[in-house]
Homo-oligomer: A and B are copies of this chain.
Amino acid sequence: MSEPRRLEVLRAIVEDYVHSREPVGSKALVDRHGLGVSSATIRNDMAVLEEEGLITAPHTSSGRIPTDKGYRLFVDRISEVKPLSAPEKRAIQALLEGAEDLDDVVDRTVRILAQLTNQVAVVQFPRLGGAAVRHIEIVLLAPQQVLVVLIATNGTVQQRVVPVPGTLQEAELADLKQRILGAVSGVRLTALPAELAHAAQVLPQHLRHAGGALLKSLEHLAGLGREDRIVLAGTANLARSTVDFPLSIGPVLEALEEQVVMLRLLSEMEQDYRGVSVRIGSENPYGGLSEASVIATGYGPDSGAKLGILGPTRMDYPTTMAAVRAVARYLSRILEE
């Protein structure tokens, strides 16, 4: 009872089951795959695999289906990544290059990912974290209203209209702007709060009051950049595979809607040696996703932002992993510009 063949059997079971959605039996296995042994042998192998918790039988005397653990082993040790087809690659590239601005890039990314994988696609907005302050603009809109704009080196812009206490002269504002700019120009966004606190202390007395409000709003803006947003696409794909979620797709939809849940989920996924990270079924910390798998990876300069897909545990892992990885790479490349 050789170990390699047992793995081969597991692989065959996973592939057949993913393909047909039906429990696969020993006879069908030897027929469809050219295993050089008889069905009885396969049965023995399957008994061992079941013993090890890699496959399970829905009911006595029916074929086996992979368990989460079985998929895990499959993903980790058996499967080979299937590269995307050339047309697919071209499609990704063409689509992403046509994007107009950051929002558009993200939007196109999530759509192509959903389309490519036939799953729900999730893209987290690129983080500002690593970026630094490129410019700050402060504009007096009304006597007590100021527009504060924070431009980061990665091209993202955050702005906000803030009320300032007391009246503020144009000249004072210009002065204030120069001081602030001098203090924070080039500072990393993560280090901004500290710098701002310092800057606040050295402000001349007459600017303290108004300046304080502005500095505070700047801190808020820097935070906004870090306040992560996610974008979804392909939710309708869940409906197609409604039969793959024995309970209901309700909990899954709920999870998707809770940005907090998804963000935590994504952030917890460390990409492994393969370049992607896979969470299978019950491996997911969130209960509502116990029948779902998530494939995610980082992208962008520091791979801090994540992107990925979510689908039923019964999915074509090799192909989907390849798609996620490919899209992440193309996206990273686009963002470098």
Contacts and interface: CB of A to CB of B under 8 A. Distances in A.
A104 to B, nearest CB: 11
18 contacts: A135-B141, A135-B147, A137-B137, A139-B151, A141-B151, A147-B149, A149-B149, A151-B161, A155-B161, A157-B159, A157-B161, A235-B235, A235-B253, A236-B251, A239-B248, A239-B249, A239-B250, A242-B248
Contacts of A240: 248, 250
Interface string A132-165: 0011010101000001010100010101110000
A160 B257 contact: no
A267 B254 CA distance: 28
A331 interface: no
A256 B141 CA distance: 38
Contacts of A157: 147, 159-161
Nearest to A135: B141
A326 to B, nearest CB: 23
A239 B254 CA distance: 10
A101 B160 contact: yes
A134 B240 CA distance: 48
A55 interface: no
A238 interface: yes
Interface string A220-247: 0000000000000111101110100000
A46 to B, nearest CB: 35
Nearest to A247: B239
B155 A159 contact: no
Interchain residue pairs A-B with the least CB separation, the first 10 = A239-B250, A236-B253, A236-B254, A157-B159, A235-B253, A239-B249, A236-B250, A137-B139, A239-B248, A239-B253
Contact of A139 (B135, B249, B257): B135
A141 B152 CA distance: 11
A332 B256 CA distance: 29
Contacts of A239: 248-250, 253
Contacts of A238: 253
Contact of A236 (B141, B242, B257): B257
Interface in A156-181: 157, 159-161
A155 B142 CA distance: 12
Contacts of A139: 135, 137, 149, 151
